[in-house]
Amino acid sequence: MLPENATQAKRINKPEPPKSHLRPPLKWAGGKRWIVRHLEPLWRKSGSNRLIEPLCGGLAVALGLNPHSALLNDINCHLINFYRWLKKGFVIQLEMENNPDLYYAYRERFNQLITSGNSESAEAASLFYYLNRTGYNGLCRFNKKGFFNVPYGRYKKINYRYDFADYRDLFLNWEFRTLDFEKLTPTLNDFTYADPPYDVQFTSYTAQGFSWEDQIRFARWLAQLKGPVVVSNQATARIIELYGELGFNLRLFKGPRMISRDGNRTPALEMFATLNI
Ligand SMILES: C[S@@+](CC[C@H](N)C(=O)[O-])C[C@H]1O[C@@H](n2cnc3c(N)ncnc32)[C@H](O)[C@@H]1O
C-alpha cells in the first residue's frame, strides 16, 4: 500500500490533454455531456491515473474528459459489444435506411442473433447501431426474455454513420467490460465517476431494470472505495438522505431537464456528491 504522503504527491494538477472531437456514437438516455464542465476540475485536481465509469452508458463523460486510460463498464452487453468493435476500427457494411419495414426486419434479425448466441458479432454491433438511430427516441429497452422491443422511431431524416475508424486511436487504452458494477475493484489511484439510472425516471436499459435496492447497493459500493468518487443523480429526498448518511459531500443544482408541475415547467434538481476529494 502507498504511504499517505505518496498519494498526496501524486495528486497534482494534470496538464490538459487535447479535447476529443468525437461525439458519443449512440443516442443514450441520461447522457451527461452537460456535467463534464463540473467534473473536469475535480478530475484534473485528483491527478488520478485512470477514469472508471461503472455505468458508462453513452460515453458522454469519457469522451468529454478524454482520459488517456479508462475502465468503462456497463451491464448492457450489446452496448459494450458495439464499443469493443469500435476499438478495432469499425466500418459498418449493413445497408441502412429509415423505413419501418427494414426497421422491423432488422429488429427481428438482431433478436435472432441473441437467440443463436451471436450477439457479440460485427453484424450484431451494426444492427445495434441501426436500431439505436432508427428506433423510438434512441431507447434501449428489452423485454423480460432479453429481446429488444423498441418500436420504429418515425424520424424525418437520419444521418447514418458507416465509418467509425476514428474511434480506434482514442479507445486504445480504454478497457470495456460488461459486469454488474459490484464486481469492479477501483484502486486508490482511480477516479470513479458514477451515473446511475435516475431514482424516479423509468429507464429500462436492461431486462432487469434498476430498483431502489440497486440504488442502495450502488451507493454502499461507492462509499467503500478508497479513491476519489463523484456521483450524480436526480436529487430526490431519499437519494439525498442515502448519500448524506453514507458520508458523501453533497451539492445540489438545477440540471438541464425540465419537469412539469401543475402546468409549469421547472428545472429538475440534480445531486452532485463527492467522496475522498
Ligand atoms: C444513466 S445511464 C448512464 C449514462 C451515461 N453517464 C452517459 O452520459 O451516457 C445508466 C447506465 O447504467 C447501466 N446499468 C444499469 N444497471 C447496471 C448494473 N447493475 N451494473 C452496471 N451497469 C448498469 C445501464 O445499462 C445504463 O447504461
pLDDT tens digits, 187-213: 999 999 999 998 865 555 555 578 999
Query: What pLDDT score was predicted for residue 146?
Result: 85
Distance CA 270, CA 248 (A): 15
Residue nearest to atom 18 of ligand 1 (CA): 180
What lies within 8 Å, CB to CB, of 66 at 6+ separation is 17, 18, 19, 20, 170
* Run of H or E residues at 253: strand 249-261
Sole residue written with cell 457479440: 120
Residue 182: DSSP 8-state: G
Does residue 181 form part of some domain? yes
Does residue 86 form part of some domain? no
Does residue 85 form part of some domain? no
Sole residue written with cell 449493413: 94
For residue 263, the enclosing domain spans 4-76+169-275
Domain shared by 109 and 158, yes or no: yes
Atom of ligand 1 nearest to the CA of 74: 22
- 8 Å CB contact between 233 and 194: no
Domain shared by 62 and 194, yes or no: yes
pLDDT tens digits, 19-56: 568 999 999 988 888 899 999 999 999 999 899 999 99
Distance (Å) from CA 106 to ligand 1 centroid: 25
What lies within 8 Å, CB to CB, of 168 at 6+ separation is 86, 87, 88, 89
Domain shared by 192 and 223, yes or no: yes
Distance (Å) from CA 151 to ligand 1 centroid: 21
pLDDT tens digits, 119-151: 999 999 999 999 999 999 999 998 888 899 999
Q: Model pTM?
A: 0.89
Phi, psi of 271 (to 5 degrees): -105, 140
Does residue 153 form part of some domain? yes
pLDDT tens digits, 88-121: 999 999 999 999 999 999 999 999 999 999 999 9
Task: Select from 83, 205, 270 the residue to mutate for testing ligand 1; criterion: most ligand atoms less than 8 Å from CB.
Answer: 205
What lines the ligand 1 site, CB under 6 Å?
A: 28, 30-32, 54-55, 57-58, 60-61, 73-76, 180-181, 195-197, 205-206, 210
Residue 234: DSSP 8-state: E
Distance (Å) from CA 210 to ligand 1 centroid: 9
Cell numbers for 219: 451507493
Domain count, the chain: 2
Distance CA 88, CA 169 (A): 9
Atom of ligand 1 nearest to the CA of 33: 8
Cell numbers for 168: 480506434
Domain of residue 61, CATH code: 3.40.50.150
